[in-house]
Amino acid sequence: MPLLSIIIPVYNTGDKLKRCLNSIIEQKISNYEILLIDDSSNYKSKKIYKSFKKKYSQIKYFKNKKKLEVGGSRNIGIRKSQGKYLFFVDSDDVVVKNF
């Protein structure tokens, strides 16, 4: 069971999602999962997820059946999370080192 679940609602953020994921992966933490909750965004978001999933098994992807907005997507992430603690990040955010 991961200590930390990082929940990221995603909607058409494109390359900003890459920056966001890299900023999380570069942290010193090791016992975590990243949950990408795709809120019916374009194909590029799933393509970015697939490229990261090849290298990082702690990334999980869920696609909403209909648009739920940020709050609804976070709620999905909460239900799907397995960590003891939750951390919310927007897909266009960059997390500073050693957060």
For residue 76, the surrounding DSSP H or E stretch is: helix 69-80
pLDDT digits (tens, 9 = 90+) for 45-68: 888 988 999 999 999 999 999 999
Is the pTM higher than 0.75? The answer reads yes
Q: Is the pLDDT of residue 9 over 90?
A: yes
CA atoms within a 13 Å half-sphere pointing along the CA-CB vector of 65: 0
Q: How far apart are the C-alpha atoms of 68 and 54, rounded to whole Å?
A: 27
Hey, is 43 helix, strand or coil? helix
Instruction: Give residue 69's pLDDT band: very low, low, confident or very high (50, 70, 90).
Output: very high
Out of 14-23, 37-46, 61-70, pick the least confident: 37-46
* pLDDT score recorded for residue 41: 87
Pair of tokens at residue 48? 């970015």
The chain-wide mean pLDDT, for the chain, equals 94
